[in-house]
A = this chain, B = another copy of it.
């Protein structure tokens, strides 16, 4: 019933017909995001922003557990500061937005709006790092950044987007690398245990790594349409920036040393990942642990005496159990409400009406499977908690099955091409580590390297492209 009504109210494109349009429809109809008057800059609406707030809250707690402190640095970078690290400026300068006037005065030096803040953090570290006793510095910043890209898509590619950027400095390379990998694990655990998005953890090739980094680690996810999404990255910089910015500390040996640096970030792109991993043709499906509304209570025949009170009674009990709950007693029809909260991806709908009240039960409906269960009222909290956990597990399992089904071991570039054209997914191959082969794979099969996984067995002896002896296992795919 709900399903039919929805199609009248909020029609969305079928995801099998046009996945891109389905995605845009969900973003708009679930009221996550809206376009602003500047192309590429988006409005995060209350429901979309609430998802981000939940991500922020849980992730920030993990950062603090691992010893990080939050700071806030300026949003503007003087051009001369950006230019200090050569690889970094080459990568970012072409997509900077430049401030040239303050009021009616032309500025002596132009400033870019931060596309990322390595240079600003280094400029600050220079003033506060003097001794090994000042290390490590474990800082994080929640902010928005701006990259003047040509194309844009809600959540996936914004000119302005919200993110966190961790920036840390360490006494030794070993400690910095350990930090880089620790934060990769934080991201991987978060994606899997909170967002129900299985990840492949790996290292980026030199071609795909961050501008100025020695090593970039990544967590890669497969979307429902079998394309790849880079969900988070963690970079090891060595002492390159430290040298460029002349940051030195007196070590335990009483000599001067350059500290070793990391940075790591995730952004609101994760919300795009959630939509494309879990959603279906009725709209969004939110992983329970970050859903702004975990349970929507919809009264049945709410004009009947006592129904609304009974619904609010359930709400009160669920809230007391720490479950984010809302009751909709608006004068929309039951069908409209069912469809509306399906579109918004609310994990659990609880229905209660006069007949349920007589029997001392309510009905629990799961968003992922559509399954309905009658539950004795005294078991409400426990049943809802179990259902939320079951939904999380099921979403994770479905996504993992999708990835496993569409990951294929390939031996030649032609095989990769066929796989990508006819099926799509991750092509798992060996590689000789030459960038020429990496570029050729793009030409032949239209893929980019996703990562060299941290765990995984060799699948052959020869490079997928040139046929020479292979060095690394590598995943290829078409990425967002």
Contacts and interface: CB of A to CB of B under 8 A. Distances in A.
A119 to B, nearest CB: 10
A75 B160 contact: yes
A104 B34 CA distance: 27
B123 A36 contact: yes
A113 B99 contact: yes
Contact of A148 (B69, B73, B103, B113): B103
Nearest to A138: B46
Interface stretch (A90-98, A189-197, A391-399): A90-98
A160 to B, nearest CB: 6
Contacts of A71: 43-46, 49
B72 A49 contact: yes
A321 B198 CA distance: 37
A97 B94 contact: no
Contact of A104 (B42, B94, B111, B143): B94
A456 interface: no
A162 B71 CA distance: 12
A160 B74 contact: yes
A78 interface: yes
Given A34-B127, A72-B44, A101 B97 contact: yes
A124 interface: yes
A151 interface: no
Given A94-B103, A100-B100, 17 more contacts: A36-B73, A37-B81, A38-B76, A41-B74, A41-B75, A44-B73, A46-B70, A49-B69, A50-B69, A52-B72, A96-B103, A97-B99, A98-B99, A98-B100, A98-B102, A101-B110, A113-B113
Interface of A: 34, 36-38, 41-46, 49-50, 52-53, 69-76, 78, 81, 93-104, 110-111, 113, 120, 123-124, 127-128, 139, 143-144, 146, 148, 160, 162
